[in-house]
Amino acid sequence: MSSVPGSDLAALKTQFDRDGCVVARGMFSSAEVAELIAAFEGIHHSGESEKLHSDQITDPKDPLTHWPRVVHPHRFNATARRHMLHPAVRETLAAFFDGVEPLAAQTMYYFKPPGARGQALHQDNLYLLVQPGTCVGAWTAMDICDEQNGCMLVVPGSHRGNLVCNQLDADTKEYFNSNHVPVPKGMKVVPVCMQPGDTLFFHGNLIHGSGPNRHPTRFRRSFIGHYAAGSLKEISKFYLPLVRFDDAMDIEVPAAVGGGACGETWQGAEH
């Protein structure tokens, strides 16, 4: 497994602090990418997954009906758990958290086949409700990701704003989720093109999403982890237990109560 040189870490942190997101190129090796792809192909074909009932799509014409995302695979799959705790991810997160040891909260895997809808612009800490501070996502590409097959979309600098509580209705012909966070005045949406093994780190307040996969044949698979600084005091109950990097031990912290910064607009913890 790879390690991040100190000079690269400093550059990554500078960009992360400025933009709220940064791509670490080649963080996962080609062998690690192949191992993850094989593991999730097995999970998909066996039907062994934890998917939220609210996330299930039943339209037989929708590609996501046949290729649903996998939520919390680290809870039942050793390969997912091991890569959630990737040493280079830990090293990078510790730099972003100013030396505080990170904790792992969630894993997901998206297959995103041809024809699949994207995910409307949103902010992750509306769901994780990490306090104090925020969560950080680590989104690793399994395939070449570009605008044709629905790459990640980010709004650099939007992490400096608050969580957006009053959201717009998303176009459900383009996106599988119904809420949409508007782009702040003076900012713009930027596509993030990536190669297999690249990891996009992004702040929990960063506005981000993805476009539909319009390519006729290419998937846009990705392995995602969500993390928080070990100094956190609470997190949404859906993400408990957290996992320590050093010994892979599950730990508990208090569950967040209520809707966080958005009050009663968000009651649950199921993202």
- Give the domain CATH number at 93: 2.60.120.620
Residue carrying structure tokens 């928080």: 228
Q: How confident is the model at residue 268 (pLDDT cuts 50, 70, 90)?
A: very low
The alpha carbon of residue 102 and the mean position of all alpha carbons in its chain are separated, in whole angstroms, by 15
Domain ranges, residue 41: 18-265
> Would you call 2 helix, strand, or coil by DSSP?
coil
Q: What is the pTM of this model?
A: 0.93
Please check whether residue 3 lies inside any domain of the structure.
Answer: no
Please check whether residue 7 lies inside any domain of the structure.
Answer: no
- Interval 31-60 mean pLDDT: 79
Distance CA 269, CA 265 (A): 12
Span 186-210, pLDDT tens digits? 999 999 999 999 999 999 999 999 9
- For residue 179, CA distances in Å to 42, 107, 175, 192 come to 32, 22, 9, 21
Whole-number pLDDT of residue 55: 53
Please check whether residue 8 lies inside any domain of the structure.
Answer: no
Number of domains in the chain: 1
Whole-number pLDDT of residue 58: 65
Please check whether residue 230 lies inside any domain of the structure.
Answer: yes
Please check whether residue 154 lies inside any domain of the structure.
Answer: yes
Distance CA 124, CA 141 (A): 18
Span 116-143, pLDDT tens digits? 999 999 999 999 999 999 999 999 999 9
Q: How confident is the model at residue 5 (pLDDT cuts 50, 70, 90)?
A: low
> Would you call 177 helix, strand, or coil by DSSP?
coil
Span 221-250, pLDDT tens digits? 999 999 999 999 999 999 999 999 999 899
Please check whether residue 12 lies inside any domain of the structure.
Answer: no
Please check whether residue 228 lies inside any domain of the structure.
Answer: yes
- Interval 6-10 mean pLDDT: 82
Whole-number pLDDT of residue 270: 45
Please check whether residue 11 lies inside any domain of the structure.
Answer: no
Rounded to 5°, angle at Cα 112 from 30 and 215:
95
